[in-house]
A = this chain, B = another copy of it.
Amino acid sequence: MSVTAAQGFLAAGVVAGLKSTGRPDVALVVNRGRRKAVAAVFTSNRAKAHPVLWSQQVVSDGIADAVVLNSGGANCFTGPFGFQTTHATAETVADALGISATDVVVCSTGLIGVGDQIFRDKVLGGATAAAAELDDDGGLAAATAIMTTDTKPKQAVVAGDGWVVGGMAKGAGMLAPGLATMLVVLTTDADLPSEVLDSSLREATRVTFDRLDSDGCMSTNDTVVLLASGESDVVPDQAAFQAAVTELCADLAEQLQADAEGAAHDIRIEVVGAVSDVEAVEVGRSIARNNLFKAAVFGNDPNWGRVLAAIGTTSAEFDPYDVDVTMNGVRVCHAGAPDQPSDAVDLTPRAVHVLVDLKVGDAEATILTNDLTHDYVHENSAYSS
């Protein structure tokens, strides 16, 4: 149950030979409903991959029929040939489905710089095969085909009053602000225009995927797409719809965090007492990106000094000598001095909660991250070999 939970959607996942493991590597999601509304959010990285440059154009009119996705190669920095590959992929899907190539969103993930003729041939073959295997129960197959170093497919569904919104996600590496090597496809049978999809999606990603910062690195290929078929014949209340999309994105974001490359801890950094949301996010992100803090968590060491040192690098309003830090329920720092003994903190569970009270306002934000582990170094030092 994921992208095919909503009425009007078909999906497939096939083996195209892009992955040396022989696992599925091309997915297709098609909207066969009476409405073809789309909204999307892309990486804020200025070095954008060809599929992102293509798909930004596709969604600009608010209409899309299909999303084709491949793992096994990011098709990024592959020269003009790479852009032509993206274009050809959309054409192949369009021909198979009898639609226009300009209504086909393309997403790719994998190694940057991979995108030669062999890559193209396999992607096009996969796109053709996927179109032939479309099924209204194909959600899991599609979610499986977009996995890279993910250890499990990621799916979620939220039911509204007579409508549903479901989705799939991949991404276990470069999770970061402004999205990460994260590909997410969401579908709904709610009867809504692209403008409503767009505002709902932006607000949802702002407080979910944008606050997931596994390793501070930002991908060239990140894409989150929301398609609406209208097949439920229900026009939901806009607030209810946005809440459902946010809940769905939060669920998928937590699944991404739980499956981040090499992670041994899922760290929830809750910043309260900030002057503004923006400053709470800045503080949380600074802690989430501090390698010394992340390595300490890996070692089950409640090293609150590294939390304060990270806060000090931000421009957020705070008094270093009036900050409280609580780790897994134990207040280890009060007013810039040691409080409860660090020995009282148990960091052996996978879930770690860091609560920072800046005491200068009422705003708050939560950032999700992971620890810095030997497995992270190992996976990322050997990824392309």
Write the residues of chain A forming the contact surface with B, with a CB cutoff of 8 angstroms: 45-48, 74, 76-79, 82, 111-113, 173-174, 215-220, 289-292, 295-296, 298-299, 301, 303-306, 308-314, 318, 320-321, 333, 335-338, 342, 372-374, 376-378, 380-385
Contact = CB atoms under 8 A, between A and B. Distances in A.
A218 B220 CA distance: 28
B292 A377 contact: no
Given A77-B308, A77-B338, A299-B381, 9 more contacts: A45-B309, A46-B311, A76-B305, A77-B321, A79-B337, A174-B309, A216-B289, A296-B384, A374-B374
Contact of A380 (B76, B291, B376): B291
A5 B82 CA distance: 60
A312 B52 CA distance: 14
6 contacts: A77-B333, A82-B337, A217-B291, A220-B308, A301-B385, A374-B374
Secondary structure of the A contact surface, majority rule: loop
Nearest to A325: B77
Given A216-B289, A305-B74, A305-B76, A380 B312 contact: no
A46 B323 CA distance: 13
A292 B219 CA distance: 11
A78 B74 CA distance: 49
Contacts of A76: 305
B215 A309 contact: no
A87 B74 CA distance: 58
Contacts of A372: 291, 377, 380-381
A309 B376 contact: no
A97 to B, nearest CB: 31
